[in-house]
Structure 1
């Protein structure tokens, strides 16, 4: 195992045979069976971590489009970096045409972020919110309280969410008024 690789070891009573390594909020985490001895851990974990780091270093991410990668870096610096000590992991971001129900998606293990091309016609503060939301998933994969804490610094958070909910409602209803009294 590289000398500079710090690994958080988590023991699991449910895990019987396998060991696994992954990144969580920028740090390495190893899941091991609870019954694994310290000697077994010392012999099995270093090669596993080494293989993980080698695969990670070989991973090539597609080039971002339309300056999205630079926008993502600026959003990270402005709103996420002050709330997390972890550096921005490797990522790629691109527009996609096949997301009709989602605004964005993130594969936190690979760093691939996809934004619905429907966002291109929306105000910048709306697409920035979606991009920031997906960037936050690089640090916290779930929609937990910690995840929402990361997003809380974005000043247009409530406005962007309301805009997207309104847009989706109008799309779902065909733009029809929700009440006959409004005619």
Structure 2
């Protein structure tokens, strides 16, 4: 091949590379503005030629998305991404402490909501965080009084978490689905409609509820799971 033909050809684009930081896994996008889903990771890097010096990060559903300039070296990018992910996780931890990230504080929060909006009629035996569920935000088992809340809800506003807890608490009062009486209790919580709207939008960015068929989760009556419907 002649030198002229070499000069006239553009360098082949680098293949898609999927790399893993120490913690957590990282998705590297093939093109500057391409958003790529990958089973490996919880962190997605989006590169933009319009960015010169700024780097930012935010949560989108169950992922952390980091936006970086497209011209960074791999080592510089990895260092900056790790720094931003650390900041996001520290912010998550602060939020968890403020709202009661551990199970004991979550349970106390639910009991306070029961007294405030349901006259104390709902008395859960256990309220705890569980790993992200693919089809619901939370679930309850009236037989043993347990409520489980997806860890994805740690990133939502307080009033949204409160609504989900009230919704599940009402299942302890009105088990067996979502009859009109159920919604009469739920709507005692004044920000119900706003919270439902938030969750509908939030579900589009997360792995939960991809088809929009459910709203909150399930009430488990024995072996039967009843999807939450309005």
Q: 2:183 aligns with which of 127, 148, 170?
A: 148
- Please give the residue correspondences for 1:166-177 in structure 2 after superposition, counting only pairs within 5 Å: 166-171=201-206
1:114 corresponding residue in structure 2:
148
- Please give the residue correspondences for 1:57-68 in structure 2 after superposition, counting only pairs within 5 Å: 65-68=103-106
Task: In structure 2, list runs of 5 or more residues that go unmatched.
Answer: 1-101, 208-230
TM-score of the pair, normalised by structure 1: 0.54
Matched, 1:72 2:105: no
Cα distance in 1 between the residues matched to 2:195 and 2:185: 16
TM-score of the pair, normalised by structure 2: 0.43
Of structures 1 and 2, the one scoring higher in RCO (CA 8 A, sep 6+) is 1
Cα distance in 2 between the residues matched to 1:123 and 1:89: 24
CA RMSD of aligned residues (A): 1.8
Task: Give the number of equivalent residue pairs.
Answer: 105
1:103 corresponding residue in structure 2:
137
1:60 corresponding residue in structure 2:
none
- Equivalent residues of 1:75, 1:128 under 8 A apart: yes
What is the CA distance between 1:98 and its match in structure 2? 4.2
- Match of 2:123, SS state, is coil
Runs of 4+ in 1 over 4 A off after TM superposition: none
Cα distance in 2 between the residues matched to 1:118 and 1:87: 27
